[in-house]
Amino acid sequence: MPNSIKLLLTRRFRPFFFTQLLGAFNDNLYKNGLTIFIAFQAVNVSQQASNTLVNIAAGLFILPFFLFSAIGGLLADKYEKSMLIRRIKLLEIAIMLLGAWAFVIKSPELLVAILFLMGTQSALFGPVKYSLLPQVLESEELVGGNAMIEFGTFLAILLGLIVSVFIIGLGTGVMAITVVFIACVGYWVSRGIPPLAAMAPELEINFNIPRQTLEILRDARDNRTVFFSIMGISWFWFIGITYVTQLPNYVRYDLGADEQVYVLLLAMFSIGIGAGSFLCERLSGRIVEIGLVPIGALGLTLFGVDLYFNQNLSGDQGLLTTSEFLAQASSLRVMMDFLMLGASGGMYIVPLYALVQQRSNPKKRSRIIAANNVLNALFMVAAAGYGIFALSSGVSIPLLFLIMAIMNAAVTLFIFNLVPEFVMRLLVWLLVHTVYRVDKTNLENIPHEGPVVLVCNHVSFVDAMLLAGCIRRPIRFVMHYRVFQTPVLSYIFKAGKAIPIAGAREDRAMMEQAFDQISEALQQGEVVCIFPEGKITKTGQLEPFKPGIGQILERNPVAVVPLALRGLWGSFFSRKYGSAMTRWFPRGWFSHVELVAGDIIDGPETSPALLQQRILELRGDRL
């Protein structure tokens, strides 16, 4: 059973998951019922009017996220979260009562207007939802928890659509009763969420919305990687809202199919999101692996482009039913495009959400997530406006999809250039999952937080990359400046904030600067890794340790964890055959490598000789 599924067995996660799922289901039940009513059932609504109403509806639902997310973030940081969630669910019941009345009187305009109130309730819930996860989950559960939330959200979209098609067929009165009933069930489930401590009870709530919005955006900018991750998330929702908003009319007017085909394609997209989310958890090895983000971004572009070249399926007589659509030659290709767009989106979005949660200041986490929601909303409203403008200018929906795919390639390349850590982690992930098969032993000995020095034997040019790919916490590597300047690898080392060092005879100033950087990193609670041999072995044997490790621990007597790499000697990146990287994969693909961690040693109690002995014991006979 996947670890993310096991979370449903825990009381700390299960009630919250189902509260979130029911809320998202009810939102989509209402929105999809409204969309189908306008696109397929409302009388005297032209294609142009349908396009306009659908895009206005999307904009009205998203606009409150831009207006009220800052207040939601303040409330989520100041107050106990389970109590706050229950009150927000009561607000949902009140709004659904109004929505029920709009369905009863069959007013498209009133149904669309009530979406603004629904968006307000969701804007208040968003910061609580994502800031709650780091409080109830362990660090190794964070990716799985986010995968479950994204899976639950898109499962709710799928179920909301399927159920809405069935219920709207029974009449708007039945829809009215259903949305109120689901809201009441959601409140009842929310009562099972256990209490969680308020992170910043001393906060003062200020209802000056523009001022508070600017403040939370400034908080988000404090951490460069977090901020650009938020920008990446926002861009994903720009793309996502474009696909989801245009899908009904794409099916109706470009594919010439009925609402059942709309359900089918949205189902493929939703299933893809769930599959991509769970695949992300499996491929990441239960760490926040942002190296998967570029893979997801590539898929969003490739399958978006393919969708443009896969059109003109509409029939000459009436709307295609599901069976008639499936009989078309290119229908499976359309379905696969939507499935893979969803899977790419899941792989793209889950690590970004987990990264924002993991690296945000805990006392400001809800407000930073609120800033994420503000920017998400801004991009979504822009997407709705862009959709209205493009379609009214004569751009077809397939051409709009092509434009979005090309824009995605440009935007993601821009973000990855600003934050090279994403590409660095991708290269590390590819190394660990294609060239080598790595077994990890006792890595739980590495503390989850606080300063620690890792000490490891040095066998090859990719030792640092292997450690970075296997250890959950970000690591500041100390390495000889010549290795640091190695072509290609230098890009990775710089992105990972490695610390170049030189011997006293080579460059004393660089050496002293390196020791200052190491000390500063440890004082900030970071993980520092050093290869005390000072060079890559030429014999496969452990070289004598340099005195630098002793100087580091004398200046900062923190915990030390010895590590040993086994099985790298003789590999492509080692010096067994002379110069490294001259014999192409002498051990073949997926060669077996081991990383073993020893017990923690207190800094004052160790010495270079003791560390060398421990690593020699950990390495054993396997070089």
pLDDT digits (tens, 9 = 90+) for 343-356: 999 889 888 888 88
How crowded is the C-beta side of 265, counted as CA atoms within 13 Å?
29
Radius of gyration (C-alpha) of the chain in whole angstroms: 27
Neighbour-count burial for 541-554, b at 16+ CB within 10 Å, e otherwise: ebbebbebbbebbe
Structural domains in the chain plus CATH codes: 3-419 (1.20.1250.20), 430-619 (3.40.1130.10)
Q: What is the pLDDT of residue 299?
A: 92
In this prediction, residue 468 has a pLDDT band, given cuts at 50, 70 and 90, of confident
Q: Which residue has the higher pLDDT, 188 or 571?
A: 188
- Alpha carbons 96 and 176: distance in angstroms, whole number: 8
What is the pTM for the complete model shown?
Answer: 0.76
Q: What is the pLDDT of residue 588?
A: 52
In this prediction, residue 522 has a pLDDT band, given cuts at 50, 70 and 90, of very high
As a whole-number percent, the residues of the chain with pLDDT over 90 amount to 16
Instruction: Give all strands of the β-sheet with 559-566 in edge-to-edge order.
Output: 436-441, 591-597, 559-566, 452-456, 527-530, 475-480, 499-501
Q: What is the pLDDT of residues 119-173, one digit of tens each?
A: 889 888 888 888 888 888 887 788 888 888 888 887 887 788 788 878 877 777 8
Residue with tokens 């001022």: 211
Q: Please say if the pLDDT value at position 306 is more than 80.
A: yes
Q: What is the pLDDT of residue 251?
A: 86
| H or E segment and range at residue 535 | none
Q: What is the pLDDT of residue 337?
A: 92
Range in 84-88, 245-249, 459-463, 604-608 with the lowest mean pLDDT: 604-608
Q: What is the DSSP string of 572-602?
A: TTBSTTSSSS-SS-TT-TTEEEEEEE---B-
Range in 445-459, 543-557, 589-603 with the lowest mean pLDDT: 589-603
Highest mean predicted confidence (pLDDT) among 59-63, 177-181, 249-253: 177-181
- Alpha carbons 152 and 142: distance in angstroms, whole number: 15
Q: What is the pLDDT of residue 43?
A: 46
Range in 187-196, 218-227, 525-534 with the lowest mean pLDDT: 218-227
Q: What is the pLDDT of residue 393?
A: 85
Q: In the numeric block, which tokens belong to residue 187?
A: 């409140």
Burial class for 246, CB neighbours closer than 10 Å (0-12, 13-18, 19+): buried
Q: Please say if the pLDDT value at position 115 is more than 90.
A: no
Q: What is the pLDDT of residue 3?
A: 66
Q: What is the DSSP string of 440-506?
A: EESGGGS-SSS-EEEEE---BTTHHHHHHHH-SS-EEEEEEHHHHTSTTHHHHHHHTT-EEE--HHH
- Alpha carbons 299 and 309: distance in angstroms, whole number: 16
- Alpha carbons 172 and 108: distance in angstroms, whole number: 12
Burial class for 278, CB neighbours closer than 10 Å (0-12, 13-18, 19+): buried
Q: Which residue has the higher pLDDT, 424 or 332?
A: 332
Spell out the SS3 assignment of 170-208.
HCHHHHHHHHHHHHHHHHHHHCCCCCCCCCCCCCCCCCC
For residue 61, give the amino acid letter. Answer: F
- Alpha carbons 458 and 568: distance in angstroms, whole number: 10
- Please say whether the beta carbons of 384 and 240 come within 8 A: no
Residue 605 φ then ψ, to 5°: -95, 5
For residue 185, CA distances in Å to 22, 29, 171 come to: 8, 14, 22
Average pLDDT, the chain: 83
Q: Which residue has the higher pLDDT, 43 or 126?
A: 126
Q: What is the pLDDT of residues 312-335, one digit of tens each?
A: 555 556 678 888 888 887 888 899
- Alpha carbons 92 and 203: distance in angstroms, whole number: 26
| H or E segment and range at residue 231 | helix 224-249
Q: Please say if the pLDDT value at position 41 is more than 70.
A: no
Q: What is the pLDDT of residue 86?
A: 92
The single-letter DSSP state of residue 320 is B
For residue 20, give the amino acid letter. Answer: Q
Q: What is the pLDDT of residue 376?
A: 85
Spell out the SS3 assignment of 249-316.
HHHHHHCCECHHHHHHHHHHHHHHHHHHHHHHHHHHCCCCCHHHHHHHHHHHHHHHHHHHCCCCCCCC
- Please say whether the beta carbons of 414 and 231 come within 8 A: no
As a whole-number percent, the residues of the chain with pLDDT over 70 amount to 91
Q: What is the pLDDT of residue 582?
A: 66
Q: Please say if the pLDDT value at position 252 is more than 90.
A: no
